[in-house]
Chains A and B, each alone.
Chain A
């Protein structure tokens, strides 16, 4: 518990936003499962790069995230020991509870290792269907995407457990930092789909 509180304090310190926030629950959600994560709305611009999906096909990143319905995005790598199995596992576990129009995108931050074949194996671990894309590419392009989402760390082991949620095509993104349960994720998608999002507010 002390460790969790310490973590929360550190998280809130590193995500300084408008101090006039009234609803604390909008920022730091503590669900029954003991998970806690922070939530902030941001505008992100997808960079004009071309990535490669798990079948080896080239795809424009802007195409990969073009979708009218809700879109979920995470950065992963297939040899990730502790964080990515939980992140991707949450996508997999939430799939049935999410509306069918939700799409998922996972992007490798270790593109030299994560070939399309490795991405296929990783996707199979989570029984990912065609509604869940896995992307790799050149290091330069993958770094550009990470930077566009303010998710870049020069050391992949320092990567943060981030989940990005865009409820509709023209909307802003909800940046969720921390570990969510599948139930948390379903609630966040519902919540984001109901309101029009403004950057900096929950």
Chain B
């Protein structure tokens, strides 16, 4: 588990460096961790996200780790492939040949829907703090391609976003 802590710290540290000086409040990695892991905001309120266009979910069930897992490596469930969101993948490009890497990491045979999604890889530029914020709010990657409808579109204030990204 400590390696995932290191990884998370790496994400946060990498991003804190990208935040412009004019951002309000000072970003707090611990508060960001609570949003990421527990789905709770600094105010104590649960995080809110909208899935499939009009279904609002809140709290731990829409925390990042609920689907992307504590490791950040994602998962596959039924027809849903949940991709990794670890720092090297977000801030590098989605490595080519991810289907092979997936086979190394996930020992179980995957259903055909997941295999199709894995292979339908999209080339995208690395994320930055602003494009990551847009991804979380608007559900699109830096090319403007929309995420799957199951990925929540989050309601996050600028201050809360700064803790997270």
C-beta contact mask, A135-178 vs B, less than 8 Å → 1, else 0? 00000000000000000000101111100000000000000001
On whether A93 and B62 interact (CB within 8 A), knowing A82-B150, A158-B111, A178-B79, the answer reads no
Which of B6-14, B24-32, B50-58, B125-133 lies at the interface with chain A? B50-58
CB of B61 within 8 Å of the partner chain: yes
A74-100 contacts to B (CB < 8 Å): 80-83, 85-86, 89-90, 92-93
Interface centre among A3, A35, A83, A159 (most CB of B within 10 A): A3
Cβ–Cβ < 8 Å partners of B146 in chain A: 1, 34
CB of A179 within 8 Å of the partner chain: yes
Specify which of B57, B69, B112 is in contact with A89 (CB 8 Å cutoff).
B57
| CB <8 Å contact, B53 and A81 | no
| CB <8 Å contact, B67 and A81 | yes
CB of B145 within 8 Å of the partner chain: yes
| CB <8 Å contact, A1 and B145 | yes
Cβ–Cβ < 8 Å partners of B155 in chain A: none
| CB <8 Å contact, A180 and B78 | no
Cβ–Cβ < 8 Å partners of B79 in chain A: 7, 160-161, 178
CB of B158 within 8 Å of the partner chain: no
A11-36 contacts to B (CB < 8 Å): 11, 14, 31-35
| CB <8 Å contact, B117 and A3 | yes
CB of A52 within 8 Å of the partner chain: no
| CB <8 Å contact, A159 and B78 | yes
Expressed in whole angstroms, the Cα–Cα distance for A157 and B112 within the complex equals 14
Expressed in whole angstroms, the Cα–Cα distance for A21 and B56 within the complex equals 35
| CB <8 Å contact, B112 and A93 | no
CB of B108 within 8 Å of the partner chain: yes
Specify which of B55, B66, B120 is in contact with A93 (CB 8 Å cutoff).
B55
Interface centre among B53, B67, B148 (most CB of A within 10 A): B53
Cβ–Cβ < 8 Å partners of A125 in chain B: 61
Shortest B52–chain A CB gap in Å is: 4
CB of A10 within 8 Å of the partner chain: yes
| CB <8 Å contact, B75 and A33 | no
| CB <8 Å contact, B66 and A182 | no
| CB <8 Å contact, A3 and B148 | yes
Expressed in whole angstroms, the Cα–Cα distance for A5 and B116 within the complex equals 9
On whether A157 and B78 interact (CB within 8 A), knowing A3-B120, A6-B120, A11-B113, the answer reads yes
CB of B149 within 8 Å of the partner chain: yes
Shortest A181–chain B CB gap in Å is: 4
Cβ–Cβ < 8 Å partners of A3 in chain B: 81, 116-117, 120, 122, 148
CB of B165 within 8 Å of the partner chain: no
Cβ–Cβ < 8 Å partners of B78 in chain A: 83, 157-161
Cβ–Cβ < 8 Å partners of A14 in chain B: 112
| CB <8 Å contact, B53 and A2 | no
Cβ–Cβ < 8 Å partners of B77 in chain A: 80-83, 157-159
CB of B98 within 8 Å of the partner chain: no
What are 24 A-B residue pairs whose CB atoms fall within 8 Å in the complex? A3-B81, A3-B148, A5-B120, A7-B117, A11-B113, A14-B112, A31-B53, A34-B149, A35-B52, A82-B75, A82-B77, A83-B80, A85-B61, A85-B66, A86-B57, A89-B55, A89-B56, A93-B54, A157-B77, A158-B77, A160-B78, A160-B79, A161-B80, A183-B53
Chain B residues close to A by CB (< 8 Å): 51-57, 61-62, 66-67, 69, 75-82, 108, 111-113, 116-117, 119-120, 122, 145-146, 148-150
